Structure 1
Amino acid sequence: MEIEKINQQLVPEKTQSWQGRSEWFFNRKYTDTYEEYYEGPYKRAEVWQKHILEQLISKDTRVKTLLEFGCGTTRFTRWWKDIGIEAIGGDISPFMLSQALHRFEGDLVMADSHHLPFKDSTFDALAFITTFEYYKDPVKVIREAARVGRHGIIMGMMNRNTPKLIRRRTQQLFGKNEFYVTATFYTPQSLIKTIDNALEGRDYSIEWTTTGLPKWFPVQKWNLPIGDFFALYVKFND
């Protein structure tokens, strides 16, 4: 697959507007330190997130290639090869991609998820990891993903059904966490409703798992809709 790596592009230092609103991922204050978050307090959570993502997508043995959109610094994009999937990354933020260029050996593309620059069925699957929360037209994004990914869509995101939602919104209220200002938090059930709306008429099945449970809790993943993070896989059967 021949896709030219993007060059770093110059954008004003202030937060830029996309979808009619300012977004943190157009601000270097946040993009330049994004990886530090995963290497610090989020490290344990990342391990379990990858575990349930692998558990779901590995069941669909048809998936050998994948486009991860909203790849950011390619924190997860770099990981797909560890489970036997060839991945490329896509993002709309040149600041995120400028970080990715130094970390990822694969191909990268800068584009808008609402208008994916690929032909139908280019990849076996599409991935959205902690990025779907920021799309203003999620139905359109899902339809684009279903057009470009022939076998399925793997999604991982922050869960609305978590005690930490209060903390997230309190931080947002006092301007302490720019990451959540424009985020829409889903539950597995609300995301499935959105998917059903987007994929009406198609034959597909859905499976999901939740993690992000307290360290002291006797289990770290389950099929109940409570936890900080859930992974969901849409498998196309048609």
Structure 2
Amino acid sequence: MDIKKINQQLVPEKTETWQGRSEWFFNRKYTDTYEEYYEGPYKRAEVYQKRLLEQLIKADTRVENLLEFGCGTTRFTRWWQEIGIQATGGDISPFMLSQALHRFDGELVMADSHYLPFKDHTFNAVAFITTFEYYKDPIQVLREAARVGKYGIIMGMMNRNTPKLIRRRTQQAFGKNQFYNTATFYTPNKLKKLIEQALHGRDYTIRWHCTGLPKWFPVQQWDYPLGDFFGMYIQFKDVV
């Protein structure tokens, strides 16, 4: 099945902006080739990212299902199923979801992460994998995730504390990488401060690890805030 050809028949090249700005995931020039990045340049990185995320979420044995928002083509949504966690995908991009429909046999929803169309505690957890960086109101998104995800929130983030930040911003300045134009890069500490503000009054713990270290480095995961990628799990303790 030629997914790209099907998408060309179903959806236009671009659609409306979101959050008052142009976003790469509303442009098929980028969304049609999204999976190719993971099959090519990011293949090795994906292995370590998934290993780290599995370690974090499996430590909370209460989590049997989750909602992944900003699921895109369901690259990670499909993987949650592989490790025994029932997953539902959500995204605001019709271009991403048009591909997801052909790649994922689970449930999908099109919506805005700032206003999740689910009742309280619908899912055991909510996941954001390299999508939280694009939200203009991250406090609102965290509060919505905490409302819908009963036991926790798992996040996979592009780390600001990485030598590659210079490369990212240089590419952006010369118009060579549209993926980062509207991205806000967080450090673990910066993200924890946002969480504290958003979840004031909640009882929770936070676990995190970094990965995305050079191939020659003796370890590929550690608990220092340096590396291209970090995973963080917010575990709620005030629910049973």
Which residue of structure 1 lines up, in the alignment, with residue 165 of structure 2? 165
Q: CA deviation at 1:13?
A: 2.0
Q: CA deviation at 1:81?
A: 1.4
Aligned AA (2:204): Y
Q: Which runs of 5+ in 2 are unaligned?
A: 1-6
Look up the equivalent residue of 2:125 and give its one-letter code: A
Does residue 120 of structure 1 match 2:107? no
TM-score, normalised via structure 2 length: 0.94
Q: Does 1:219 align with 2:187?
A: no
Name stretches of at least 5 consecutive residues in structure 1 with no aligned partner. 1-6
Instruction: Give the Cα–Cα distance (whole angstroms) in 1 for the partners of residues 22 and 15 of structure 2.
Output: 6
Letter in 1 for 2:135: Y
Task: State the alpha-carbon separation in 1 of the partners of residues 9 and 96 from structure 2.
Answer: 11
Match of 2:179 in 1: 179
**In 1, distance between residues paired with 2:184 and 2:159?**
10
Give the direction of change, closer, same or farther, for the CA distance of 1:195–1:8 in structure 2 (3 Å limit).
farther
TM superposition shift of 1:49: 0.2
For residues 52-105 of structure 1, the C-alpha deviation after alignment (integer angstroms, 9 at most, x for no partner) is 000000000000010000000000000001211000100000000001011001
Deviations 1:189-224 (A, max 9, x none): 000000000000000000000000000100000000
Aligned partner of residue 106 in structure 1, secondary structure: coil
Query: Aligned partner of 1:128: which letter?
Result: F
Number of the residue aligned with 1:4 = none
The structure carrying a bigger helix percent of its residues is 2
| 1:29-178 equivalent positions in 2, closer than 5 A | 29-178=29-178
CA distance in 1, matches of 2:183, 2:117: 24
Answer with 7-16 or 161-170: which moved more. 7-16
Identity of aligned residues (%): 80
Secondary structure of the 1:168 match is helix
What TM-score does the superposition give when structure 1 sets the normalisation length?
0.95
* Structure 1: distance between partners of 2:102 and 2:214: 34
Question: In the alignment, residue 145 of structure 2 is paired with which amino acid?
Answer: A
CA contact (8 A) 1:122 1:148 kept: yes
Q: Aligned residue pairs: how many?
A: 232
Tell me, what secondary structure is at the counterpart of 1:76? helix
CA contact 1:205–1:236 (8 Å) conserved in 2: yes
Q: Deviations over 1:154-194 (max 9, x none)?
A: 00010000000000000000000000000000000000000
Q: Determine the C-alpha separation between the residues in 1 that align with 2:15 and 2:50.
A: 30
> Secondary structure of the residue that 2:121 maps to in structure 1?
coil
SS of equivalent to 1:154: strand
CA RMSD of aligned residues (A): 1.5
Shift of 1:8: 11
Q: Which amino acid counterpart does residue 60 of structure 2 have in structure 1?
A: D
2:71 corresponds to which letter in structure 1? C
